[in-house]
Structure 1
Amino acid sequence: MFGGNIWGAIAPASEALLDKERAPPPKPTPLEFPCYVPPRSDDPLDSHHLESLCKDLASVRRPWDVKDSQLAQFNIQLEQDVSLADMVPDERFKSRPLLYDSDLTSMLKELDVENEDAYREVIRLPPLPGRQKPRLAYSRAFFTSLEDMCRYWDDSKDDYYEVEVDGQEGSNTEFSPTPSTTKETEKRNAEKKETKALSGETKQTTEGTNSDGEQAEHNTSLNADRVEIPHRSKTKQVYRGLRIGSGQQMSPGTRVAAVRNLLKMAIHKFNCRDHDFHPREKFRIRNINLPSTFLHFCVAKMPAESRLARARFVEGPLMGVHSRMEVRFRPRDGSNDSPNDFVGEKYDLFREVSGLLMLAKQRAREGQTPSKEPHQDHWWALRHRWGGGPTRWGQLACEVFEDDDPSWSPEERQLQLDKRTQEEEERKRTDVLATATDLNNLKPEDLLSLETSSGNVRPKKKKKGDDDSKDKAEYKDGRRLMFTAPIRRKWYQEWTKVRPNSSTWDEKLIYRRIGVPDPEQGWDDVYMLSAANHHVCLVKLSVHENYLQWLETGNTKHQALKSGRQDHILYMTRSRWFNLLDVDQRKELLTGIWCVLSWLNRDEVPKVELEKMENLKQEQEQQESDNGGDHPMET
C-alpha cells in the first residue's frame, strides 16, 4: 500500500509530525469527483424493456465497459448540487430546531473545534500555548479517524525545501532531484566534457613537438587558459507537514471509519445503530446478479422488544453508506496510465444506483417471508439427483457389507469373525435362559458354563439411553453391514439431498419501510451517504414499487396513481460534496443528516419530542417577529 520512502516517515500515533523534518512524501493527490449525468430512454415498464436491459448488463465484462446506452435503460433523472433542506419533503424538518435539538447543539459545538486542537487531544498531547483543552465526548472517535485521514489528504501545512548535506551523508542518503539541482548537474557535466577536450588537444600537441622549449611554452599557455571549478555542496529535499503519504495510498477503511463515526454521533440518539450487510446480499435483476454492487453498512433501528434487541436484531434499513476506494474517475490529459487504474464515472454511477435500488428492494420486503420451496429456476432442486435416476444401495461410502470392508486386513478379519462367533454364542445362551420356564429342565453343564462365562467377563457399564435388548448391528439381506458412526453417515448422505440455494435475506434484519412518505402512493425515498476522497455527499432516490416489481418479474403490480412523477423514472438527487476537514462544512453535513433522521423517525419517536420541537419552532418565530426580521438559527 505504501511506496517510496514513506516507511521512514511514519511516526507513532502519539507523536506530532508537524515540526519534524523528514523525507518528503509523494505529491498531494488532486481532487476528482464524479459528475456524470446519464441519458434516458423513457421506455415503459414491460417485459421487452427488461429483456433489453438484461441483455445489455450481460454484455458488461469490465467496469469501463459501461456505456451510455446501458445506463439509459434505467431511466435515471439526476439532479446535482441540491441543498440538504430540499432532500426532506416535510417543511417541519428542513431547518432547526429539530428532534433532540439540544443534543445536536452539543455535537455541533464539538465539531467546531479546530482540527489541530482536536488532533492533539485524541493523540494525548498537551494543547498549544494559549489554547484551551477541548472537550470531546460525542466526536472523539470521529476526530480519531479524521486525524488518520489528514496524514494523507491535509496538504495545508506542506513545506518542501532543500538542505545541504555533507559528502558522506549525501552518499548514504537518497533524495529526489529538483529542477535546480538538475540544472546544476547538467552544467557540471558540460564543464567536465570541455576539460576533457582541452586535455586531448594538449596530448596531441605534445606528441607533435620534439623540443623541450616548445613543450614548456605550450603547457604554460594551457595552464593560463584553465578555469578552476568551485566545489558545490550537495543538497537534498526534505519536508515538514502533516502528511506521510498521498491520498491514493490511504487505506479505504480509514474513509469508511470516518463516515461511520460521524453517523454514530447522530443515529444513537434516534435509537438506531450501524449494521453490516450480509455478504450473501446481492442486487438481482430478474436472473442476473450484478457484481461489484455493495454497501459498506447501513443505518437500522433497534427493535422495541428487548428480546430481539439482545439477539442483535435490527429493523429497516433507514440509510445506506457507500465509500469509494478509487480517487480517479476520468483519464488525465497526457497520462499514460492504463484504464485499470480507474473505473470511470459511468461505472461509478451504475454502482451507486445499484446500491440505492438494493436498499429499496430490502425496504419493500416488509411483511414478506422468504420461500423455502425451490423456485422454478432452481432446476437442480426439482429433479431427483443430477442424472435423474433413482438412488441405489451401495452408492454411498457407508453402504458396505462388513465382510467386504476394504479397510480390514486378513488377520483383523479373522479376529472379527471369531469375536462375532463368540457374541453369537453368548446371545443364544441368554435367549435360552430368557425363554426357559422351568429351571429344573436345564442341564447342569449349561448352568455351569453360563456361570463361568459370566464370572470371567466384567459387565459393561450401562450408558444412558442404551438398550441391551436391541442389537445395534444393521443387517441387509441377512448380511451384517459395516459400522459407520452416525455423524459420518450423515455426511455421506448429505449429497443425496437435493435442495435450493440458501436464502440471501439477512436473518438479523427485520425488513421495514421506516419513514415512507405515503404508503398508498407507492413511492419510497431511499437515502445514502456517498464518500469520495475526504468528502461526503447525501444522495436520495425516489422509486415506485412498480419499478421494483418490474426488476423482479418484468411486469407491474397495478397502475400508478396520477401525480407529477412517473413510475418508470428513477428520481435521483445529490447534494454537493462536503469536506470533512473543513469545520463549517462538516457541521452543515451533520445538520443535514439530523434533518433526514428526524424525518424518517417522525413516527418512531415519542410524541413528547415532536411537541417539544413544535414549541421550540414557535418560540423561534415569536423571537424573530419581536426582533422585526427573519434570522435563521445558526447551524
Structure 2
Amino acid sequence: MFGFSGNLLAGQHDCGEERQPPARPTPVIFPSFTPPEPSTSKAPATWTEPPSRILEYFVSLKKPSDVNEEALRLLNITFAPRCEFESLLASSPADARQYLPPKSWLEVPGNETDEPSGSSASETSIRLLSNGRRLPDRNEFYTRAKELFVKNQDAFVTFSRKGPPGHVPLRLAHFRKFWESLDNLAYYWDTSLDEYLPPRPENAIKKQEQAQNPSSESNGTSTEAKPADEPPESQPPAISPSEEPRKKAKTEEATDSTVTIPINSRSFKTLPASISSSKALPARSAPPKVPWATNTPSRANKPADLSTGSYKGYRTGTGSEMPDQYRLDCVRSFLEPIAWAFGVTFVPHRRPPVLCLSHIRFPVRMNSVGWRGPQDRMKARQGWMEGPVLGIQCRPDTNFGASGNLEAESRLDGVRELGGMLLLAQERAREGRAEVRAGEGKWWTTTPRWGGGPGGEVGEATGASDEVSQGSTPAATPTPTTTPPLPGKSEIRIPGRPRVGSKDRRRPSPAEIWKMLRAGNPLWDPKVVYEAIGKERESQWDEIFLVSSLNHHISVLKLRVHRDYIRYLTEGTLPEQPPSDPNWCSPSLTRTKWFDLFNVEDRTEAMRGIWGVLAYLMRSQKSANDTPMSDA
C-alpha cells in the first residue's frame, strides 16, 4: 500500500558541508576481452561428437571462476565491435532504422507538423502498434526527453527543497522516480563535486586533548562534580534566553519522561522519550545498506572526526559499497517511462529464470523483463502477459581487473550476458507450443510400482514388527469423549461451501507425497502467452535485445540467433537437414557503447535509441491487403 524504500532519503544531504571523508572513489572500468574465433561455415566439431560437449562442460562448472574461454568457443558466438544505434538496427529486417527517432527530435518541436517515426509525410493513415495502440509521435517523445535535460544538481535540489532564494522547483512527472534513484546513486558514484580537504590544526589539537582527557565527553558538556544525592537526570538542560517559557516547560516535561521496557524484552534500561520538532528538516544521511532499513538511528548528533581531513561532495561511500537494488531501481525507472508509451511493462520472472541445456537447468541472471499487456482487459486484470519483448540485467561487479586477470573477469561477465539473452531467446521460441514437463508420458510417472522387498511399501509396512504387535496384548486406549456443543453454538454449515476444519486442511504426509506419480514441476509461466514480438513471420532468425548495466552505465545488446540453434541448445539435437543459411550455428552479438546516466548527452542518446528499439519491436506486421483506418 505504501512505497517505503530507499527513495525516501533522496535529496536530504548537504554536499557543501564538511564531513568525515569517505574512501577514494571506485574506478569505472568495463570488461574487455578477446573472443575466440567462431566457426561460421559449419557446425563446430564439438557439436557433432556423440557426447554433447556443451552439456558436459556446463555440468562440470562448480563456481563462477571456472568459466573460461572454452565456454565461448562451445557457444560459437560471433562478437561484433561496438557501434551506434543506427548501426545496431541496420542489420535488422523491415528497415529498422526508420523507427529510430532523428536527433532533431531532441529539440523543441516547432509549429510544423512532425511526422511519426517510420512514416512518410504523404501517409495519412494512423500507425498502430502490435497491441492496437497508436504509435507515439514526436510530442510524446519530447515531453519525456526534456526531463532528462535537467541538470543533476537542479533535480536533487528539487527533492531536498533547500534551493537558493528564487529557485523554482522543477516539475518532474515521467522521470521523477529515475531522478530519485539517480540521487541515491550519487551517494556512491558522483565524483563531480569531490573535494578532499587537508586536516586543520585546530582539529588535530582537539583530538590530542581528547586523547589526554578520555573522561571528557565529546559533545563539550561540563564535567563538574554533582551532588551525590541528586541524580543527573534531575538537573534541567541549558536553555537559551531567547526561547519562550512555554516551550521550555514542554521541553523539560518531554525530556524528563521515561519509557519502561518490559522485562521480557532484550533490554532492561529506561530510555528517555525524545520529541523532535516537526518544523526541523531531517539531516541527509547516507542511504542504508538495505533499502528497507530506513528507521535506523541517525548519526547526525555524533560529531564527525575531521582530524585526518574533511570532504565536500555528494559521496558518502564507494561504488563497490552501493546496494544492488539502487542500480536496478535506477535502470528500471529510466526505462519504464519509455516503455509505457508503447504499452510495455517491466515485471520480473514469476518462475526462476533457468536456461535449459538439454535436461540440465542452468540458473542465469535476469532482473526484469519487458512484457506486452494483453488487449483483453479481463486477462490483464488477471495478470496475463505476452512476450517477452526485452530484458534488463544489472550486475554488481566493479573494478574489473583488480585481481590481476582482466581477461578472465571480463569473459565471465560476457557469459552472464549471453546466458540472459539465450534465456529470452528460448522463451520467445515457445510461441505456439505447449510445455512438455520432465517425465511427462513416461512409465515412471504413470505406472504404480513396488519392488517387492521386505517390509512392504512405504506407508503400509508389513513384516516382523506387525507380528510382534499381533502377539502382544494391546494396551487399553481411552475412548475419547465427545464434548457436546455449547447452547447457541451449534455448527452452522452453509450449503455449497466446504467445511473449514482440521481434516480439510490436513497436509499429505511425506509417504503419501512419495507415492504420488506425476511429472516434474513446470518451468513455463501459466499466465504468459509466449510470443516472439517483433520477429519477422517468415524469417528463421530472431533478434534478442537486452539492456545491460554496470557501475552507473547502461548498454543495449542485440543477439541475432537462428531457430535451429535454440533448438539444439534446448533439446540437444542437430537439425536433420542443414539449414540453407550456413551461419545458423553462430549467433551474432552486437552492442552499443556504455552510456553514463549522470551525463546529459549520454542519457538522452540512450533514450533515443531505446525508443527506436521499442518502436521497431512493437510495430504492427500487417499484410499489404490490410485497409488503413482512414480508408475504412
TM-score range relative to shorter protein: 0.5 to 0.7
Other structure's SS at 2:188 match: helix
TM-score, length basis structure 2: 0.66
- 2:572 maps to 1:515: no
- 2:195 maps to 1:159: yes
In 2, Cα distance between the equivalents of 1:343 and 1:409?
Answer: 71
Asked if the contact 2:450/2:457 (under 8 Å) is kept, the reply is no
Aligned to 2:542: 524
2:205 maps to a residue whose letter is G
- 2:207 maps to 1:169: yes
Aligned residue runs from structure 1 range 495-574, under 5 A? 495-516=514-535, 518-557=536-575, 559=577, 562=580, 566-574=583-591
Mark the CA change 1:50 to 1:21 in structure 2 (over 3 Å): closer, same or farther.
farther
1:91 maps to a residue whose letter is R
- 2:335 maps to 1:263: yes
Other structure's SS at 2:164 match: coil
Shift of 1:159: 0.6
Specify which of 136, 139, 144 is matched with residue 107 of structure 1: 144
Shift of 1:506: 1.6
Residues 79-127 of structure 1: CA deviation (Å, up to 9, x unaligned):
2321112222323213335341211101111100000001111x24143
Moved over 6 A (4+): 388-391, 460-463
- 2:368 maps to 1:297: yes
Aligned to 1:250: 322
In 1, Cα distance between the equivalents of 2:558 and 2:434?
Answer: 27
In 2, Cα distance between the equivalents of 1:48 and 1:373?
Answer: 25
In 2, Cα distance between the equivalents of 1:579 and 1:78?
Answer: 23
In 2, Cα distance between the equivalents of 1:244 and 1:611?
Answer: 57
Aligned residue runs from structure 1 range 23-422, under 5 A? 23-42=20-39, 44=43, 46-48=47-49, 51-88=52-89, 89=92, 90-96=96-102, 97-98=116-117, 99-100=135-136, 101-121=138-158, 123-129=159-165, 131-162=167-198, 163-164=200-201, 165=203, 167-170=205-208, 172=210, 235-291=307-363, 293-331=364-402, 344-371=409-436, 374-375=439-440, 381=445, 384=448, 387=451, 395-396=459-460, 412-413=477-478, 415=479
In 2, Cα distance between the equivalents of 1:151 and 1:593?
Answer: 27
Aligned to 1:587: 604
Gaps of 5+ in 1: 1-10, 174-233, 334-338, 421-457, 467-483, 613-635
Other structure's SS at 1:346 match: helix
In 2, Cα distance between the equivalents of 1:588 and 1:368?
Answer: 38
Aligned to 1:493: 512
In 2, Cα distance between the equivalents of 1:508 and 1:548?
Answer: 23
Asked if the contact 2:101/2:611 (under 8 Å) is kept, the reply is no
Shift of 1:75: 1.1
In 2, Cα distance between the equivalents of 1:409 and 1:171?
Answer: 85
Larger helix proportion, structure 1 or 2? 1
Residues 150-186 of structure 1: CA deviation (Å, up to 9, x unaligned):
110011101111222153434559xxxxxxxxxxxxx
Aligned to 2:126: none
Residues 185-225 of structure 1: CA deviation (Å, up to 9, x unaligned):
xxxxxxxxxxxxxxxxxxxxxxxxxxxxxxxxxxxxxxxxx
Shift of 1:313: 1.1
Mark the CA change 1:387 to 1:249 in structure 2 (over 3 Å): closer, same or farther.
farther
Other structure's SS at 1:81 match: coil
Shift of 1:66: 1.6
Greater C-alpha Rg? 1
Instruction: Report % sequence identity.
Output: 27
Mark the CA change 1:49 to 1:314 in structure 2 (over 3 Å): closer, same or farther.
farther
Mark the CA change 1:237 to 1:409 in structure 2 (over 3 Å): closer, same or farther.
farther
Residues 4-63 of structure 1: CA deviation (Å, up to 9, x unaligned):
xxxxxxx95453321111000000001111122421342517542871222222232222
Answer with 66-75 or 141-150: which moved more: 66-75
- 2:595 maps to 1:578: yes
Answer with 495-504 or 54-63: which moved more: 54-63
Mark the CA change 1:110 to 1:52 in structure 2 (over 3 Å): closer, same or farther.
same
Asked if the contact 2:178/2:334 (under 8 Å) is kept, the reply is yes
Mark the CA change 1:562 to 1:95 in structure 2 (over 3 Å): closer, same or farther.
farther
Mark the CA change 1:114 to 1:47 in structure 2 (over 3 Å): closer, same or farther.
same
2:177 maps to a residue whose letter is A
In 2, Cα distance between the equivalents of 1:12 and 1:463?
Answer: 53
Aligned length: 467
Other structure's SS at 1:73 match: helix
TM-score, length basis structure 1: 0.66
In 2, Cα distance between the equivalents of 1:394 and 1:294?
Answer: 40
Shift of 1:485: 4.1
Shift of 1:276: 0.7
In 2, Cα distance between the equivalents of 1:114 and 1:72?
Answer: 45
In 2, Cα distance between the equivalents of 1:547 and 1:574?
Answer: 20
Aligned to 1:602: 619
Answer with 317-326 or 596-605: which moved more: 596-605
> Aligned-residue CA RMSD in angstroms?
3.8
Aligned to 1:230: none
Answer with 158-167 or 101-110: which moved more: 158-167
Mark the CA change 1:559 to 1:87 in structure 2 (over 3 Å): closer, same or farther.
farther
In 2, Cα distance between the equivalents of 1:268 and 1:128?
Answer: 35
In 1, Cα distance between the equivalents of 2:346 and 2:320?
Answer: 27
